Amino acid sequence: MLLEILDPEQNDKFTDDFLDVPINLSKVLFICTANMLDTIHPAVLDRMEIIEVAGYTFEEKKQILNKHLYNQAVERAGLIKGFHKFRISSETREYLIQNYCREAGVRSLKKYINKICEKVAYKIVLNDNQEEVVVTPENLEEFIGTAIFQSKRFY
């Protein structure tokens, strides 16, 4: 149906099957969004104009994480800096961005940093504040699962 709607030779005499009413869609502008084009059928892609919109760069995500998301996640998890013994190094944060959060926005970055801080808080409670909880690129998988992307380089 989408192919028929997007085809300029057919969309002026389109009939809605649900309402059984003819509709002229020739002057309608359709806007579709997608994170990946790979899953869209080639025939549909052929009838679309693709406009790529850039998202945040690696450096911008790093700044957003360090200045905003990290502090919010720490507070949300009930961790108190100086009182609780935990550390998430800048190397770990960069690894997180590069190997888990490559999408244009920062939604998954926020989700992952919240999850990390929640698990840090849980480990602190289990350890009864005896030892420092350190999150490293090597043990990050314990906190949030397997990396989605495999890259050792930082951009």
Q: What is the pLDDT of residues 31-71, one digit of tens each?
A: 888 877 888 889 888 888 899 888 899 999 999 999 999 99
pTM: 0.66
The type of residue at 145 is G
**Could you tell me the end-to-end alpha-carbon distance of the chain, in angstroms, rounded to an integer?**
42
pLDDT higher than threshold 70 for residue 124: yes
Tokens of 62: 């790093």
Please check whether residue 27 is in contact with residue 47, taking contact to mean a CB–CB distance below 8 angstroms.
no
Look at phi and psi of residue 6 and say left if phi exceeds 0, alpha if psi is from -120 to 50, else beta. Answer: alpha
Rounded-to-integer distance, Cα 99 and Cα 150, Å: 6
Residues of the chain with CATH 1.10.8.60: 58-144
Q: Which CA distances in Å does 131 have to 34, 48, 90, 134?
A: 45, 57, 20, 9
The pairing of strands 133-135 and 86-88 is parallel
Q: What element of type H or E holds 18?
A: none
Quote the distance between the C-alpha of residue 126 and its chain's center. Answer: 30
Class of domain 58-144: mainly alpha
In this predicted model, which residue has the larger pLDDT, 63 or 29?
A: 63
pLDDT score for 129: 60
Q: Tell me the mean pLDDT in the region 125-152.
A: 84
The pairing of strands 14-16 and 86-88 is unpaired
pLDDT higher than threshold 70 for residue 139: yes
User: Tokens 């005499």 map to which residue?
Assistant: 13
Tokens of 128: 């009864």
Q: Around Cβ 84, how many Cβ atoms within 10 Å?
A: 17
